Amino acid sequence: MHALATVDYVIILGYLILSLIAGVIMTKRAGLSLEHYFLGGRTLPWWVLGVAGMANWFDLTGTMMITSFLYMLGPRGLYVEFRGGAGIVLIFMLAYTGKWHRRSGCMTGAEWMTYRFGDGKAAEGVRAMSALAGILITVMMLAYLIRGASLFLGLFFPFPAMYTTLVVVTVSTLFTMSAGFYGVVLTDLVQGVIILTASVIIAFMAWHLVPSMSSLAATAQAVTGNADWTNSQPAWHTQMPAGYEPYSMLIMVASFYLLRNILGGAGTGADSRYFGAKSDRDCGLQSFQQGVMLMFRWPLMIGFAVMGIYLVHSLYPDPAVIKQAADLIHTQYPATTAPFWHDLTGSIMTSPGSHPAAFVAQLRALLGPDWQGKLALVGYHGTVNPEQILPAVLLNMVPTGLKGLIVVAMFAAMMSCKNGLMNGASALFVKDIYQNFFRPRAANRELIITSYASTLGIVILGFYFGVVATSINTLWGWIVMSLTAGQIGPQVLRLYWWRCNAWGMIGGTVLGILGAVGQRLYFPEMTEPTQLVVMTAISVFGTIAGSLLTAPTSREILVNFYRTTRPFGWWGSLRGEFQGAERAAIDLENRNDIITLPFALLWLITMLLLPMQLVIQSYATFFRTLPLFLVALVGMYFFWWKPLMKKGPATP
């Protein structure tokens, strides 16, 4: 079965070819220096960096996964995505962590460590550890993206899913290797336009499909069993299908995820888009733009979820057929495990001739003449697989031509996020490991070639872990609640506590990584809330113990850090170094930054809810949410926008 028409394949092929051509064009400019290759020469305007930031929030795998929760829960799926997809950490970068990191003048987060802790052996050690931790997190993020891409691409091409994914990953890798940060930003601009166009189209199609909110609610209840599907308020308990039972205690789950992102968000900002910004003002403006553009992702995903509700209702009026189909596949292929279920069903759909004729005939008799389209939704546990709702909707409900455009938009989402990750991880290896420890006098050409090799190696590792991953949901849960949670201690304390030193950073980083890897290997069934508590506690303990058992950072380094960064927190006697008008200015800036946070949080959450409420025609709820959004905007205007504009574009 060919899921796409010829015109759709032409659109996709043209997009991939143009991406390679753009990479070749940008190669010369990117190769001028490491600063050009990894930061665009620090000359890019804030709105360009904002688009690049938006594209990093708009990944394909996350879009599929969030769509699955919106399909199961309606707008309340947003609260599950407090764990990452809602972009909660963005409010910290908007308020202050972005500008704090820009003020260092560094190129990477690992280089920033020497700015914070000096250039002694311990500081060099923490720089190396930070770089390695960043590379490890990137590899696992790539695995997550690649696994999701394989689930998506397997439905649209008559080849094994991983082979198709390999081709797309190879194209985007070659592009990033050649074009550097210029290429990342260039494609993000083009891909951002494609993604936003697709968002508007799908949202309108879904809105037009809904007869009324009450009708949608009845259909959603029949399909998902959720009686409150159109409700936007979180609930203490909600019905979840097999495999998703841990999310049934919705308020508790959302609270843990919100706590995790508040803790993690306080330590964010070490990002190439902020290191490459021209001013504090540009840091704030690009963060605001990222939030506004991120909003378009949610009507796209709720649109896919709504269309998925009607699709499942039409394809499976008798849900028992799904269980029968899954049992039939398990009987024919009893050795197939959950990680390879989608590869198997994709192969059956696209290449039925390579499977036993009698088995295929049984599937056809069970599912009907359009059995291949229906098979996409058959899950391993004998229920509808919510992670396949997005590709199934594209497969069955989007017309030819437009289907190719939407697939390209999904490609763009994957490539934009992947390219940014690869560029950042390559910078960590080249700048903070290779040049800093092995070849400090290496010529520019050697460093650029090394960046090519490191990018390739990182992608190969990510591809391997993507192949062996069990599911995109469990992999993302481990990344957010264990692996990155294990870095919360050192990443947060370095910004707010004067006594945090390089040895403390090493202790917290090492314990956090070992704890997360050990949990994955020996306690894979540990719940996500437990992972968060344990890994955060381990990393905080390691950071505090390592810091208190060793000598503090030299006062000269600390004074320089405090003077240039101007942070708030526990800075002891360092505050006394600054008196009079300078002290008052720092305190006022800190106060405005802190007050901005709750208003920015309310702004972000309501901004994501409002368009979803419009798509499902929940107009009464929309007008109850709108005043909260306006209150948030007013607060941000007085405590964030006005002080930001006073700084002017040339803030040092």
DSSP-derived secondary structure for 256-286: HHHHHHHHHHTT----HHHHT-SSHHHHHHH
**Residue 374 to residues 209, 222, 349, 362, 366, Cα–Cα distance (Å):** 20, 18, 9, 14, 11
Counted residue by residue, the chain has a size of: 652
Cα–Cα distance for residue pair 177/16, rounded to 1 Å? 15
Q: How far apart are CA 274 and CA 106, in angstroms?
A: 10
| DSSP symbols for 513-573 | HHHHHHHHHH-TT--HHHHHHHHHHHHHHHHHHHHHTSPPPPHHHHHHHHHHH---SB-GG
Q: What is the pLDDT of residue 31?
A: 43
Query: What's the rounded mean pLDDT across residues 632-648?
Result: 89
Pair 373, 516 in one domain: no
pLDDT at 22: 62
Contact predicate 418/174, CB 8 Å: no
Task: Give the per-residue pLDDT at 349.
Answer: 80
First vs last Cα of the chain: how many Å apart? 59
Query: In this structure, what DSSP letter does residue 58 have?
Result: -
| pLDDT for residue 73 is more than 90 | yes
Confidence of residue 391 (pLDDT cuts 50, 70, 90): confident
The reply to whether 430 and 334 lie within a common domain is no
Residue 183 has pLDDT above 90, yes or no: no
Angle between helices 341-350 and 121-153 (to 10 degrees): 30
Alpha-carbon distance of 508 to 502, in angstroms, equals: 10
pLDDT, greater one: 19 or 602: 602
Domain shared by 186 and 218, yes or no:
yes
Residue 394 lies inside a defined structural domain of this protein: no
Which residue in 2, 13, 56, 74 sits closest to 218, CA to CA? 74
Q: How confident is the model at residue 9 (pLDDT cuts 50, 70, 90)?
A: confident
Average pLDDT of the segment spanning 479-484: 84
Residues 370 and 298 in one domain: no
Residues 535 and 641 in one domain: yes
Q: Give the model's pLDDT for residue 1.
A: 44
Between residues 569 and 434, which one has the greater pLDDT? 569
Number of Cβ within 10 Å of residue 441's Cβ equals: 6
* Domain membership flag for residue 62: yes
Taking 80 as the threshold, does the pLDDT of residue 343 lie above it? no
Please write the tens of the pLDDT for every residue from 409-434. 777 666 666 666 676 777 778 877 88
Q: 394: closest CA among 209, 146, 202? A: 202
Average predicted confidence (pLDDT) for the chain: 84
153, pLDDT greater than 50:
yes
Q: What is the pLDDT of residue 418?
A: 64
Return the DSSP state at 295.
T
Percent of the chain with pLDDT over 70: 86
- C-alpha 342/C-alpha 336 separation (Å) is 10
Between CA 149 and CA 171 the distance in angstroms is: 14
- Is 70 exceeded by the pLDDT of residue 378? yes
Q: Are 402 and 201 in contact (CB under 8 A)?
A: yes
Handedness of CA 330, 334, 339, 345 (dihedral sign): negative
Q: Is the pLDDT of residue 78 over 90?
A: yes
Q: Is the pLDDT of residue 205 over 90?
A: yes
> 292 in a domain, yes or no?
yes
CB 108 within 8 A of CB 427: yes
* Tokens (6 digits) for 649: 């574009």
DSSP state of 652: -
Q: Which helix (H) or strand (E) holds 25?
A: helix 6-30
Radius of gyration, CA atoms only, the chain: 25
Taking residues 49-69, report their average pLDDT.
Answer: 78
Residue 603 in this model has a pLDDT that exceeds 90? yes
Q: Which residues pair with 570 in a beta bridge?
A: 497
| Claim to verify: residue 302 and residue 369 sit in the same structural domain | no
CA 635, 636, 641: angle at the middle one, nearest 5? 135
The mean pLDDT value for 577-594 works out to 92
What stretch of H or E contains 287? Answer: helix 280-294
| Residue 40 clears pLDDT 50, i.e. is over it | no
Range of the domain at 352: 317-383
Q: Are 617 and 212 in contact (CB under 8 A)?
A: yes
DSSP character for 157?
Answer: S
Q: Hey, what are 503's tokens?
A: 């040895």
Q: What is the pLDDT of residue 471?
A: 61
- Whole-angstrom distance, CA of residue 172 vs CA of residue 55: 14
Say whether both 308 and 323 belong to one domain. Answer: no
- Per the CB < 8 A criterion, the answer to whether 97 and 478 are in contact is no
Residue 128 has pLDDT above 50, yes or no: yes
Q: pLDDT of 272-323, one tens digit each?
A: 778 878 889 999 999 999 899 889 889 999 999 999 999 999 888 888 899 9
pLDDT at 154: 67
Distance CA 453, CA 526 (A): 36
pLDDT on residue 452: 79
Instruction: Yes or no: say if 269 and 109 are a contact pair by the CB < 8 Å rule.
Output: no
Dihedral sign for Cα atoms in the order 561, 563, 565, 569: positive
Mean pLDDT of 155-166: 73
DSSP letter, residue 501: -
Span 449-464, average pLDDT: 83
208 within domain boundaries = yes
pLDDT over threshold 80, residue 448:
no
Separation of alpha carbons 194 and 190, rounded Å = 7
Tell me the mean pLDDT in the region 526-552.
92
285 in any annotated domain: yes
User: Measured between alpha carbons, how far is 530 from 219 in angstroms, rounded to an integer?
Assistant: 36
Are residues 248 and 365 located together in one domain of the fold? no
Question: 271: closest CA among 44, 106, 505?
Answer: 106
124 and 148, same structural domain?
A: yes
Residue range 251-283, pLDDT digits in tens: 988 898 898 889 889 999 888 778 878 889 999
- Which pLDDT value is given to residue 39? 47
Clarify whether residues 110 and 180 are in a common domain: yes
Of 138-152, 406-420, 442-456, the least confident: 406-420
What whole-number distance in Å separates Cα of residue 619 and Cα of residue 629? 15
**DSSP class of 470:** S
Amino acid at position 177, single letter: M
CB atoms within 10 A of CB 647: 15
* Domain-located, residue 389: no
Q: Who has greater pLDDT, 490 or 413?
A: 490
Residue 524 clears pLDDT 50, i.e. is over it? yes
pLDDT band at 33 (very low <50, low <70, confident <90, very high): very low
For the segment 367-393, the average pLDDT, to the nearest whole number, is 85
What's the rounded Cα separation, in Å, for the pair 167 and 159?
11
- Closest among 242, 246, 245 to 379, alpha carbons compared: 242
Q: What is the pLDDT of residue 136?
A: 84
Residue listed under structure tokens 């951002």: 192
Q: Which of 427, 429, 441, 443 is nearest to 107 (CA)?
A: 427
- Give residue-wise pLDDT tens across range 494-514: 999 999 999 999 999 999 999
Spatial neighbors of 486 by CB under 8 A, at least 6 apart, are: 511, 512, 513, 515, 516, 535, 536, 538, 539
Q: What distance in Å separates the CA atoms of residue 592 and residue 95, rounded to the nearest whole number?
A: 9
* Same domain as 215, residue 344: no
Residue 353 counted as domain residue = yes
Distance of CA 588 to the CA centre of its chain: 33
Query: What CATH number does the domain containing 458 carry?
Result: 1.20.1730.10
The DSSP call for residue 650 is T
Same domain, 289 and 361: no
Tell me, rounded to whole angstroms, the distance of Cα 16 from its chain centroid. 22
DSSP 195-256: HHHHHHHHHHHHHHH-S-HHHHHHHHHHHH--TTTT--S--S-----TT-GGGSSHHHHHHH
Tell me the pLDDT band of 231, cut-offs 50, 70 and 90. very high
Q: Is the pLDDT of residue 70 over 90?
A: yes
Number of domains in the chain: 2
